[in-house]
A and B are shown apart, each in its own frame.
Chain A
Amino acid sequence: MLELITFSLINGVLYGMLLFMLSSGLTLIFSMMGVLNFAHASFYMLGAYFAYQISTFVGFWPALIIAPVLVAIVGAFVERYMLRHVHQHGHVAELLLTFGLVYLIDEIIHLVWGRMPVDYRIPEVLDFTLFSLFGIGFPAYRGFMFLVGVVMFVALYLVLTRTRVGLIVQASLSHPDMVDALGHNVPRIFTLVFALGTGLAGLAGVIAGNYLITEPGMGWAMGPIVFVVVVFGGLGSLTGALIASMIIGLVTTFAIGLNLSLADLFASLGLEITREAFMADLWFLELSRIGPILPYLLLVLMLIFRPRGLMGTRET
């Protein structure tokens, strides 16, 4: 039992941190600009592919810096030359534009890197076992991922709440005319925020692409779960996204670890359910079998009972 709890805690927190890295950029863009960026996971995928390409030339460490910057440049381009034009038509137009971007980026990746996974590897310096617990190794790279996640959260939090830039950015959203009147270039601030948000997605791609698999379907695989995190945590709340990521990570891993079903629960209450019972499949469905689906259930429950999410400031 101790073993199960330890592993589920470690695995849950680590998975949660990965989810946070992915969703922080999305929630940033949403809170600052009100744009729900459907293509967020595509920027994540771009980050992984850029990092793969760069690492084949100069190795992993330069790629860790260059790839997110490149993704941010692509993001800035998208904001300046695409989003800004449709901005006047409202949020639906922006949403549709980012939706189209998903397919565009997908096709570009197919054309450039093909449809098969690429061999993007973990750097050799981090390819060792950090420590072992109950006979299970804990790879150093996972520790590195966790560290990057923490640094990301702290840096973002400080920039947004403690610096002049952060204050101007926040003010640009609620009172753009006033900020404009004070002499700040509001559109440029939006471009910067969008670039930063996509750059963060790119960074997540660099970090996760080699730990998971860099392949053309990776964006599609991560897209839905990122939205769950952001909506669950409250659209636009960085702290909310962090807490939501942790909850989702822990719920998923604990569910996988437990071989519990509703029938077991009833049995512990003294109610025996047999295999012949009405809807037996449901009662005997083990938690571990549906673990990875649970976040979506949480999403639905959250939207019903608390539509603004954990820490959100407005209704979704």
Chain B
Amino acid sequence: MNARLKNALAAAALTAVTSLASFGAAAQDTIRVGYIDPLSGPFANVGDAGFKHLLYMAEKINSEGGVLGKKIEMIPLDNKSSPQESLVVLREAIDKGVQYVTQGNGSHVAGALIDAVEKHNRRNPDNAVLFLNYAAVDPELTNEKCSFSHFRFDANAEMKLSAMTDYMAEQEDIERVYLINMDYAHGHQVSRITKELLAEKRPDVQIVGDVLHPIGKVKDFAPYVSKIKSSGADTVVTGNWGNDLSLLVKAGADAGLDVDYYTFYAGGLGTPSALGQAGKDRVYHVTEWHTNLPVEEDTPEMGEFSDAFAERYPGIDWYYNRLGTQMLMLKKAMEEADSTDPMEVAKAMEGMEMETPYGTVTMRADDHQLLQPLYVSVLTEGVEKDVENTGLGFKTVARIEADDTALDTTCEMKRPE
């Protein structure tokens, strides 16, 4: 056994050495994009799924001739969900010549990366780095903390809530709303912004509860469900994700709680499987994409695309459509700038418009926030393309045009001369 183990270790070491060596040689003819997200630990499944989306996009772009004759190479960098660790791997990536990094899980991580990239670019203007954010939705990142080196491809929390409350405002039967959120920055924002927006759009709606609970520490949501029930709420708004969302909805279904849930992250990465029947006809979410969209919007090419992805990576659905938009816009900006130099690309990307199967998207120059059409949809039975083989899928109930998702920004962008 020992001999076999030694052989295996030797082989692994050899692979590591050769891949490091090829790293150096390939530097000139590839565009390296570093992917900084958790690839180990409790959120590894989420980070892993995101990376597969990017690998798939890189493969697609490369097979169509790459960008300016160069290939895109994705480099996984495990940040273990930690801002400190992210800065360490960012430094390593920069030393290896990575000029583009992308990250999504956690606005605290994104905030740390913006600061680090900003500082690096100030000190090394000739060796700049761009940060493409695909999922960190703290509004601050494109307001007070906005940066020339940061581009966000996901609608921020305020934009999503604005779209969601627009739809809620039209629902006459919503009278009593209960807020339940995880006790950290995102949850606090969802609670605060929802209250502000509802007060403005539907002053008659009562907020009958506003609860915060620790992240990932609650196993049994039954006590929360009793609270919701006794408040007489008909609607729950929650920024919860992962198990904290699934367990809440399941506990509600078990107790016969008759409410609708307005959520952010019900659409993929295992949550639909965990929700199952408990979420049927109750769970709404606001996103730029869901698996049934190609059927509804009659875009069969996107249907084929997402089917091919699911076939290539069994167990994962095409979920982050914005990662597709992000990589295509990066390509377009490079071609327009006729350069892969990050600062040139950033200038080209500012204000860039691009056609997608679901309409024109714009990278707003003021704050580097992408404006894209958003969809409010509900988990239900009998849609043509289900999600995660659950038999359930999303049905669009409202489409919000890209322009209508735009909100004012307080960003004062400092641009390089």
Contacts and interface: CB of A to CB of B under 8 A. Distances in A.
B387 to A, nearest CB: 12
Nearest to A15: B220
A155 interface: no
A117 B214 contact: no
Contact of B255 (A119, A138, A213): A138
A222 interface: yes
Nearest to A214: B274
B300 interface: no
A118 interface: yes
B222 interface: yes
Given A129-B256, A139-B254, A115 B48 contact: yes
Question: Of residues A134, A222, A291, A292, which shows the largest number of chain B Cβ atoms within 10 Å of its Cβ?
Answer: A292
A18 interface: yes
B67 to A, nearest CB: 31
Q: What is the predominant secondary structure among interface residues of chain A facing chain B?
A: helix
Contacts of B276: 119, 121
Given A116-B388, A117-B246, A256-B223, A291 B229 contact: no
Interface string A122-136: 000000010010111
Interface stretch (A2-10, A59-67, A79-87, A176-184): A2-10
A142 interface: yes
Interface string B376-390: 000000000000101
A117 B223 contact: no
Contacts of B400: none
B212 A137 contact: no
A91 interface: no
Interface residues of A, number: 45
Contacts of A213: 243, 246-247, 250, 274
Interface string A210-245: 001101110011100100000000000000000000
B270 interface: yes
A222 B227 contact: no
Contact of A7 (B217, B223, B247, B269): B223
Which 9 pairs from chain A and chain B are nearest by CB? A137-B256, A115-B45, A116-B270, A256-B223, A7-B226, A292-B217, A117-B274, A253-B223, A139-B254
Given A4-B226, A134-B230, 6 more contacts: A216-B45, A221-B243, A253-B220, A257-B223, A288-B211, A292-B217
Interface of A: 3-4, 7-8, 11-12, 14-15, 18, 114-119, 121, 129, 132, 134-139, 141-142, 212-213, 215-217, 220-222, 225, 252-253, 256-257, 288-293
